């Protein structure tokens, strides 16, 4: 599987609080662009909107160490969503047949591999950014 090379490295910081603050800043820049739900337009899905409804609740289900690891890739994951045209691995969600899970592979500026997971609702054809995590 081919990986999308980002121009962004991981978010710097040695503690969860530092990385979270930077991730919130990046997210707030996305949020400022709309009055409603924050989104990013995806190159792969023909500029369709990818919403962030599930990312933060999914992240807070994880333990703090796992949250720290995942948030480090947040800004790079947004770049992958916006710019990647590389075909992801896609499969039907085994828990819910009305959803498709797409998994993009990304490569940070410092050559760190990570995944970006997007959930597609078959009925409404809406797409949601679920998670980003190291490979």
pLDDT digits (tens, 9 = 90+) for 58-103: 999 999 999 999 999 999 999 999 999 999 999 998 989 999 999 9
State the alpha helices, DSSP H only, in the chain: 16-32, 55-59, 64-71, 74-83
Q: What per-residue confidence (pLDDT) applies to 1?
A: 78
pLDDT computed for residue 124 by the predictor = 85
Enumerate residues 6+ apart whose C-beta is below 8 A from 34. Answer: none
Q: Are 20 and 71 in contact (CB under 8 A)?
A: yes
Q: What is the pTM of this model?
A: 0.92
CB 133 within 8 A of CB 76: no
Say whether pLDDT at 31 is over 90: yes
Give residue 120's pLDDT band: very low, low, confident or very high (50, 70, 90). Answer: very high
């Amino acid at each position: 599987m081919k990986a999308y090379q980002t121009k962004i490295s991981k978010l710097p910081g040695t503690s969860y609080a530092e990385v979270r603050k930077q991730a919130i800043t990046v997210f707030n820049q996305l949020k400022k662009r709309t009055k409603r739900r924050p989104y990013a337009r995806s190159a792969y899905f023909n500029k369709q909107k990818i919403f962030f409804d599930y990312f933060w609740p999914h992240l807070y289900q994880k333990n703090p160490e796992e949250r720290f690891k995942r948030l480090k890739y947040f800004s790079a994951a947004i770049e992958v969503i916006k710019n990647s045209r590389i075909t992801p691995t896609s499969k039907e969600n085994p828990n819910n047949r009305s959803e498709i899970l797409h998994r993009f592979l990304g490569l940070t500026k410092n050559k760190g591999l990570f995944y970006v997971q997007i959930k597609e609702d078959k009925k409404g054809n809406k797409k949601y950014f679920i998670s980003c995590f190291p490979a």
